[in-house]
Amino acid sequence: MNKDTIRLILFLGCNLKCKYCCNEQTQFNSQFVEKYFEDIDFTKYSNICISGGEPFLYKNILYDVLDNIEVVAAHCNIYIYSNGLLIGDSDMHILERYNIRAFNIGLHSLNQISKIIAVEKHFNTRFMINEKLYEKALLKYPERLNTENTKPWILNQCNRPNEDWILLK
Ligand code: SF4
């Protein structure tokens, strides 16, 4: 399969410790390829998914990478994968400088959305929530979550056949 998407795993550190985290499972993390940013050939890709860990845990690294993407991969769509909890209002102002196509916010508990600033007011945002919490979350937070912007995720469905998984050195 022609892979049009690169998943850039900035680092594995995260502010949460989900026991089902794909990064902790050998069947998935054995597919990571470690590379320096400057060794990645971005001409092969149309999309860049920036993830971790939690990308906002070390914001200096995230912003460095975004600066470098502007230089060498301006043709790519940028998607940011985050649990949202460490994103502040000041980050929104900084991020609006970049050509970010969308945010993907992973929700791991029913109330997590109440602790996340309104990223969706600034960027296209898709919320992903455990399928078991999906209906309850939509009922509890109708002002933030709806069937258009929120999709259920299924435990251990981590494979993304169209992606190369690169862990930054
Ligand atoms: S928030 Fe995401 S990256 Fe962090 S531990 Fe949970 S599943 Fe893993």
Q: What's residue 53's pLDDT?
A: 94
Structure confidence at residue 81 as a pLDDT band (50, 70, 90): very high
Of the chain, the percentage scoring pLDDT greater than 70 comes to 99
Looking from the CA of residue 15, the nearest atom of ligand 1 is 4
- Residue 36 has a CB neighbour count (10 Å cut-off) of 9
75 CA to middle of ligand 1, Å?
Answer: 28
Which has more pLDDT, 161 or 34? 34
Distance CA 83, CA 108 (A): 8
Residue 19: pLDDT over 80: yes
pLDDT for res 89: 96
Q: What is the best residue among 21, 81, 153 to mutate for testing ligand 1's pocket, by most ligand atoms within 8 Å of CB?
A: 21
**Digit-coded pLDDT (tens) for 98-135:** 999 999 999 999 999 999 999 999 999 999 999 999 99
Q: Is the pLDDT of residue 69 over 70?
A: yes
Cα(46) to ligand 1 centroid in Å equals: 25
The residue whose CA has the least distance to atom 7 of ligand 1 is 21
pLDDT at 2 exceeding the cut of 80 = no
Q: What is the mean pLDDT of residues 50-57?
A: 97
Residues with CB under 6 A from ligand 1: 14, 16-18, 21, 23, 52-54, 83, 106, 108
| Tokens read off for 28 | 């998935």
The chain-wide mean pLDDT, for the chain, equals 95
Distance of CA 16 from the midpoint of ligand 1 (Å): 6
Which residue carries 């975004």 as its tokens? 66
Q: What is the pLDDT of residue 1?
A: 66
The residue behind tokens 């914001």 is: 59
Question: Biggest alpha carbon distance in the chain?
Answer: 46
- The number of helices, as runs of H, and strands, as runs of E, in the chain is 4, 8
The beta strands (E) that lie in the chain are given as 5-9, 33-35, 47-51, 77-82, 100-107, 125-130, 150-153, 163-168
Q: Give me the amino acid identity at 39.
A: D
Asked if residue 52 has pLDDT above 70, the reply is yes
CA-to-CA separations, 12 to 16, 17, 55, 100, 140, in angstroms, rounded = 11, 11, 9, 22, 31
Helix %, strand %, coil % of the chain (to 5): 30, 25, 45
What are the φ/ψ torsions at residue 78 (nearest 5 degrees)?
-110, 130
Which of 24, 54, 105, 130 is the best mutation target for the ligand 1 pocket, counting ligand atoms within 8 Å of the beta carbon and taking the most? 54
Q: Please name the residues in contact with 24: beta carbons below 8 A apart, sequence gap of 6 or more.
A: none
